[in-house]
A and B are shown apart, each in its own frame.
Chain A
Amino acid sequence: MIAEFTERYRRAVNDPDLRPRLLAFQRSWRESRDAQVALLEQRTERSFDELRRDFAEVKDATLDRIDDYIAEFRANAEAAGATVVELTTAEEAVEYIAGVCKARGIDLVVKSKSMVSEEIELNDELAERGITAIETDLGEWLLQLAEQRPSHLVMPAIHQKRQYVAEILGEELGREFDPDDIPAMVASAREGLRRHYLAAGTGLTGANALVAETGSIMVVTNEGNMRLATSLPDVHFVTAGIEKLIPTWADAERQLQLLPRSATAQTLSTYTTCITGAQPGKEMHIILLDNGRREMRLDDTIGAALRCIRCGACANVCPPYQVVGGHTFGHIYTGAIGLVNTAFHHDVEAAAGPQGLCVSCGACETVCPVAIPLPRQILQIRRRTTESGHAPRWERWLLRAWSAPQLFRAAMKLGAVASTLARAVGLVRRDHIRLPLPRRLNWRSIPAIPSQTGSDLIDNRQPQPTLESTPASGTTVDLFAQCLANRLMPDTVDASARLIEAGGANVNVPPNQHCCGLPAFDAGDWETARRMARAAIDALSRADHRIVTPATSCVISMRDHWPQLFRDEPQTLSRANAVADRVHDLAAWLDGPGRLPDGCLEQEESGSWTAHRFCQSSNRGEPGARIDLLVERLTGETSLPLEEAEVCCGFGGLTSIAAPEVGEGIIERKLECIMASGCETLLTNNPGCALHLRAGAVARGASHNTQHYADFLASRLPDDPPS
């Protein structure tokens, strides 16, 4: 039985050892994986992206003709003496395995790692039928002894600490283990498992690939347990999802270029075993399981998830995974892919809990060796869980208020008045209100709301004189101020306008612009998102000026989310596309149509800076993502190096509200890197991130300032530009 999500979440955030352990794991994996991938690129003279797209094509082509490949596989495997069965549901698979065991009088199964057997909860099911299953992979065995489940696709016991391992091994083997003597604990597996191998009537394995041209299975392992489990017992079961089919051995080799490097950062795992058919005098049963896979393939957004080769890389770069681990970030399948396929292999209910933990940073997609668009898929599943009523009530109310401009404006005005009062009584420091917040929330301060909006500021001042003429000189640019920035960061909105004006363009702030719909889209509430997006499209369609915004996330929303939202509304879609085509991220603008020349801004002697680069645009390789390079180019100053500059700051839309511990855990990692850089000023490029990073730094008492790069650049505009 898997505990309720809220219970799993609570356990995870209360485990003090989990975060540091997973952080160390993620960092070391990243380093060795990157080195491995660089070597691969060098050897093949092809980029990781080309290599993964090639293999993804192989997977897609196979999946599109899956029944042909199954038929080919079956014919070859059966000719070699195997029995191949195609089964639709988890229950059928369990019954089949139990039936064969019963018929042969087998009551002990030794298992090598198989995610499909986890998926169908085989161990529990067999136990109910009087058959014992023993895991033989060391990590899985330890978890079985502890009555736990894998928390990672490749490193199942990554959440476990050695003291606990020593304890459970001691109980199983009846002697003491020194928690610091890991080799001795590892060696005990040999003794602890040997008798099971010798007594078992059957060995069960998974398969990393099913090779159609010869009817073979390919399995990669490091310990050697899989070879033992298939050598001693007389019956060999293979449980595999139908998506494991590949046409040829050449394809298997391509998979191997990507799999071990992505999984454990190895060139090749220790054992790559190929088995074709039953061994002399033995039986082999290959179970090809559907369990939601064909349905998944039919879904045009989710279908690509079937390319997955279960390498676990998507968890290894996932910031919320680092905070809560796989028991919470996922169901039986963990990490980003678990947030997608759980809805199909299990149900929407099981998929719902962890949805709110994903911060949509997009890191998973950058390392996925089969280029699965995981972030987009997760949002699609979130939409389903939200529509089936799994979103918290406060979230629905918040979005409702947000989506009504009047209500939003009224709430903000009220906040501004309260902020002024707070300022008067000395409750505001560093532009944040000092309120005693509960422990769960006190890692982030509350920003004071300024009394004027960004558009107010622009209306009531003289335009910035032209600094240099640019291709945009003399044209009018519509500024999309963004709902958050306009209210909470008015100076940034004004600074953005001044930078555009410095390039000779006129700035117009179209009225009635509010929100692009991103917060609702992220929360899976597409109805509300559509309403907000339509209003933004109306506001931005009055003229056909180019549009510039300091809100990087909204550019992505317009270009990427709007087409999804209006897929079935051709007219709105074409208007949406027309707006999205005109929109520019400010940083990209300052390098593009409104390009200001190198070194045109004043240098300041004092003040070292570095830049946190908005994760989403960095991970998608959007133009303008490298704000550090832009600022260096315009000011001639050099950025301080920042570790993990593109790792999410933890704002993540509503995540930091729904799961405050996740927001806290992620910003802690971020602030540590920032503080280690020794910067006086931290620059960033998305208003949400700027607000979040500033509020986090203030709460923590960090000494650096946090600025949107537009503020930083505008403050360096010369007072008396050449006329």
Chain B
Amino acid sequence: MISASDRTSRFQESLVAAQGEIAYLDSWDELWDFAASLGDDTPVVSPAAHGFLRRGDLPDAEDPLRSIADRSVGITVAALGVAETGSLLLVERAPVDRAVSLLTRHLVIAVGQDDIVDELAEGFRWLADQPRAAAYATFVTGPSRTADIERSLTIGVQGPSRLTAAVLT
């Protein structure tokens, strides 16, 4: 058995290797303060994260993407984390669920420390058992990137340019 703290440190190592960042926080209140300190405007919050935080701007239900395009900080919540790869699994059935993770500049993804699994295979097992989640689910591993111009790795293309996993301990 791998201990929870080993798993968390492995998760951290993998995530950092994928140019992601990590913060360990005790509560949703702390998470809010942390996220709010990252940008000049109020964080936008995905419907799932709003259920826990009960504050922040929600994307507009009618035109979710346009309403939050390029806001500086967004908060969403992952179903689970994967230590092997540093990935976070986002379950985002409708565009309104996805808006925050698609278009904000600095994305904060909350994940419970107990929701971190060892291997990607476990993540897929979870997904196979949750047909509703698989409607639109994404393993996100670090900020968006490209190496399309002369192989030069550039972080932040069309998605977020910074990504922080907020591990709730």
Chain A interface residues toward B at CB < 8 A: 21, 24-25, 28, 43, 80, 136-139, 142, 155-158, 160-162, 165, 182-183, 185-187, 189-190, 193-194, 198, 213-214, 216, 222-225, 227-228, 231-232, 248-250, 252-253, 256, 264, 266-277, 279-280
Tell me the minimal C-beta distance from A183 to chain B in angstroms. Answer: 5
- A189 touching B158, Cβ below 8 Å: yes
- A190 touching B157, Cβ below 8 Å: yes
A24 / chain B contacts, CB cutoff of 8 Å: 151
With beta carbons under 8 angstroms apart, the residue of B95, B121, B134, B149 that contacts A186 is B149
Tell me the minimal C-beta distance from A148 to chain B in angstroms. Answer: 13
- A186 touching B157, Cβ below 8 Å: yes
- A186 touching B140, Cβ below 8 Å: no
B94 / chain A contacts, CB cutoff of 8 Å: 279-280
- A228 touching B102, Cβ below 8 Å: yes
Closest chain B residue to A137, Cβ basis: B148
- Beyond A190-B158, A228-B158, whether A268 also contacts B148 by CB under 8 A is no
B134 / chain A contacts, CB cutoff of 8 Å: 214, 216, 274, 276
The contact size tier of chain B is 35 or more
In this assembly, does B120 line the interface, its C-beta being within 8 Å of a C-beta of chain A? Answer: yes
A276 / chain B contacts, CB cutoff of 8 Å: 131, 134-136
Task: With a 10 A CB-CB cut-off, give which of A28, A157, A186 has the most chain B CB atoms.
Answer: A186
- B157 touching A267, Cβ below 8 Å: no
- A138 touching B124, Cβ below 8 Å: no
- Beyond A182-B150, A182-B154, A280-B93, whether A223 also contacts B102 by CB under 8 A is no
A137 CA to B29 CA in the complex, in Å?
38
Closest chain B residue to A264, Cβ basis: B147
- Beyond A138-B157, A182-B154, A194-B69, whether A223 also contacts B135 by CB under 8 A is no
Tell me the minimal C-beta distance from A140 to chain B in angstroms. Answer: 8
26 A-B pairs whose Cβ atoms sit less than 8 Å apart in the complex: A138-B158, A139-B146, A142-B148, A161-B150, A182-B152, A186-B148, A186-B157, A213-B128, A216-B134, A222-B145, A223-B146, A224-B158, A231-B65, A250-B128, A253-B121, A253-B123, A267-B85, A267-B86, A268-B87, A268-B141, A270-B145, A270-B159, A271-B139, A273-B139, A274-B134, A274-B136
- Beyond A223-B144, A268-B87, A269-B141, whether A231 also contacts B158 by CB under 8 A is no
Tell me the minimal C-beta distance from B55 to chain A in angstroms. Answer: 25
- B148 touching A138, Cβ below 8 Å: yes
- B159 touching A227, Cβ below 8 Å: yes
CB within 8 Å: A-B pair count = 164
In this assembly, does B8 line the interface, its C-beta being within 8 Å of a C-beta of chain A? Answer: no
Give the 4 A-B CB pairs with smallest separation, nearest first. Answer: A224-B159, A139-B148, A224-B144, A249-B128
- Beyond A162-B150, A227-B159, A267-B17, whether A256 also contacts B131 by CB under 8 A is no
In this assembly, does B7 line the interface, its C-beta being within 8 Å of a C-beta of chain A? Answer: no
With beta carbons under 8 angstroms apart, the residue of B87, B150, B154, B156 that contacts A272 is B87
- A274 touching B102, Cβ below 8 Å: no
Closest chain A residue to B91, Cβ basis: A274
A266 CA to B147 CA in the complex, in Å?
12
- B147 touching A136, Cβ below 8 Å: no
A190 / chain B contacts, CB cutoff of 8 Å: 157-158
Tell me the minimal C-beta distance from B61 to chain A in angstroms. Answer: 12
B150 / chain A contacts, CB cutoff of 8 Å: 21, 160-162, 165, 182
Task: With a 10 A CB-CB cut-off, give which of B14, B143, B150 has the most chain A CB atoms.
Answer: B150
In this assembly, does B36 line the interface, its C-beta being within 8 Å of a C-beta of chain A? Answer: no
- Beyond A228-B102, A248-B128, whether A182 also contacts B135 by CB under 8 A is no
Tell me the minimal C-beta distance from B67 to chain A in angstroms. Answer: 12
